[in-house]
């Protein structure tokens, strides 16, 4: 596979294999890059800044629109690669390509609106006879480090604001699923991006990440991944801007007046879509005691109909997890909860790289599966009698990305908006929802900064002030 690095294609005798998550067969191999490659990538990106920032806004808009169109034109090819390298179902992979292309196009359309404003300096006595205004300029080299679960969407949310703002990029895709993202980077270059403006690093994140993060020529780090890795990057970064999405442990509150049919349908999907490998996964389900039994029966009825198997089959709802190691970790966490007193009411078993859709209840708050992000097809069921207690339980986590509440009561909505410590509060919609122009990000351990069009672009630009003294 072609991996763009420093205006050329990367070459390495040392390679690593990317496997089909269902069959286990090798799909392709990529260079296992070294610290020297990191330095080369950052150097090339730095040297490309003059070319990228010299492009007019119209040129950047045209290139991004062409890149979006290229993704759509190669849609079927990307779908095949995504299914193989991630275990996505056909429907999920198809949506991934369309969503990524739409994101890139939206960033192209945002370019005219990242401007500045005039400042009335003569409002101060010292400002008489002076005219001032501020405007935005590119910040420089952006280091983007991504996760495996949405390879193209995450790339789009990193490359889109980077290039739209006039910056160059060094991109490190997840080693478990890098192929679609690397191919997309090549398409972006073919669409007109300056040759050295896109540099891709493939290989072990624990080797490449700290070196990339600590390089002083890198001015912004955009990272999507685990909290431990994010904290390590932050320690290495120094005085750089950090955009970090570090996962969550999302609560979904179902009140006594909720539309249970709506809540059930959405929460089953939010619990088990893409095997729960999603930062917006509905991990904790907090159900009012008056509807607890009814909701549980409805949830089990819908979830038990899900089909697990080959992601290429149109009838498959649940595919393989990203690796057997990941499936084994979920197995350990479920067993820990069981030993601590939790009851398995659905699933709970692993078979190779597959893990059954699982629902637990009576889970002690001391277990890892309650405190941390499970990143697997497991949800936890809790009852509550008082809405304010439910909000306290929802907040009882170090994460704070998104929370959801199903209710028709305005008082509940207003109380949750004020007291839920999460970046986004969903009302009558599960936590597994995102429209890509939203300011996306979380509180507490869920990360720093916000993605999404203007919010990301502002983080990738500097404000420059001009003051002109009239003679």
The catalytic site residues sit at: 245, 279
Query: In terms of C-beta density within 10 A (0-12 exposed, 13-18 middle, 19 or more buried), how is residue 317 classed?
Result: buried
What is the CA 101 to chain-centroid distance, rounded?
16
Pairing of strands 399-400, 378-384: unpaired
CB 358 within 8 Å of CB 337: no
Beta partners for residue 19, in sequence order? 26
Give residues with Cβ within 8 angstroms of 169, minimum separation 6. 45, 141, 142, 143, 144, 158, 159, 162, 163, 197, 198, 199
Give the CA distances from residue 445 to residues 229, 367, 421, 424, in Å, rounded to whole numbers and listed in that order: 12, 18, 11, 14
CB 223 within 8 Å of CB 242: yes
CB 282 within 8 Å of CB 249: no
Structure tokens at 228: 């431990």
Distance of alpha carbon 443 from alpha carbon 245, whole angstroms: 10
* 3-state secondary structure (DSSP) of residue 278: coil
SS (H, E, C) 298-337: HHHHHHCCCCECCCCCCCCCECCCCCHHHHHHHHHHHHHH
Q: How many helices (H) and strands (E) does the chain have?
A: 16, 24
Reported as half-sphere exposure (CB side, CA atoms, 13 A), residue 189 has a value of: 23
Give residues with Cβ within 8 angstroms of 335, minimum separation 6. none
Please list the helix, strand and coil fractions of the chain in percent, rounded to the nearest 5, in that order: 40, 25, 35
Distance of alpha carbon 417 from alpha carbon 421, whole angstroms: 9
Distance of alpha carbon 140 from alpha carbon 53, whole angstroms: 9
Query: CA geometry: angle at 453 spanning 447 and 457, to 5°?
Result: 75
Distance of alpha carbon 52 from alpha carbon 57, whole angstroms: 10
CB 204 within 8 Å of CB 175: yes
């Amino acid at each position: 596979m072609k991996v763009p690095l420093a205006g050329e294609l990367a070459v390495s005798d040392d390679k690593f294999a990317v496997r089909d998550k269902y069959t286990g067969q090798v799909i392709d191999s990529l260079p296992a890059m070294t610290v020297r490659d990191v330095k080369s990538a950052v150097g090339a990106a730095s040297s490309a800044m003059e070319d990228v920032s010299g492009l007019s806004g119209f040129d950047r808009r045209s290139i991004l629109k062409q890149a979006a169109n290229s993704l759509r034109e190669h849609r079927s090819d990307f779908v095949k690669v995504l299914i193989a390298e991630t275990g996505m179902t056909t429907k999920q992979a198809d949506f991934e390509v369309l969503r990524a292309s739409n994101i890139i196009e939206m960033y192209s359309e945002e370019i005219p609106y990242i401007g500045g404003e005039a400042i009335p300096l003569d409002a101060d006595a010292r400002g008489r006879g002076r005219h001032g205004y501020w405007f935005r300029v590119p910040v420089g080299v952006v280091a983007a480090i991504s996760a495996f679960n949405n390879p193209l969407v995450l790339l789009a949310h990193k490359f889109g604001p980077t290039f739209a703002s006039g910056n160059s990029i060094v991109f490190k895709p997840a080693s478990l699923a890098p192929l679609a993202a690397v191919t997309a980077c090549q398409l972006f270059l073919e669409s007109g991006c300056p040759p050295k403006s896109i540099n891709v690093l493939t290989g072990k994140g624990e080797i490449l990440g700290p070196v990339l993060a600590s390089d002083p020529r890198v001015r912004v780090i955009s990272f999507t991944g685990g909290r431990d890795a994010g904290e390590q990057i932050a320690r290495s970064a120094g005085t750089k801007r950090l955009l970090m999405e570090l996962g969550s442990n999302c609560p979904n509150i179902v009140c006594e007046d909720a539309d249970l049919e709506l809540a059930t349908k959405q929460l089953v999907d939010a619990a088990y879509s893409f095997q729960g490998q999603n930062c917006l996964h509905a991990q904790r389900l907090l159900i009012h005691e008056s509807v607890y039994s009814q909701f549980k029966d409805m949830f089990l009825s819908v979830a038990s109909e899900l089909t697990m198997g080959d992601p290429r089959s149109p009838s498959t709802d649940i595919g393989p997890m990203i690796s057997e190691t990941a499936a084994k970790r979920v197995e350990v966490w479920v067993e820990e909860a069981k030993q601590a007193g939790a009851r398995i009411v659905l699933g709970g078993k692993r078979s190779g790289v597959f893990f059954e859709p699982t629902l637990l209840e009576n889970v002690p708050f001391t277990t890892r599966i309650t405190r941390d992000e499970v990143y697997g097809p497991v949800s936890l069921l809790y009852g509550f009698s008082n809405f304010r207690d439910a909000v306290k339980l929802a907040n009882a986590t170090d994460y704070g990305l998104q929370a959801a509440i199903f209710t028709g009561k305005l008082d509940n909505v207003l109380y949750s908006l004020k007291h839920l410590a999460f970046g986004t509060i969903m009302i009558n919609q599960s936590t597994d929802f995102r429209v890509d122009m939203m300011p996306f990000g979380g509180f507490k351990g869920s990360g720093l900064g916000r993605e999404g069009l203007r919010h990301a672009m502002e983080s990738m630009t500097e404000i420059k002030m001009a003051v002109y003294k009239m003679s």
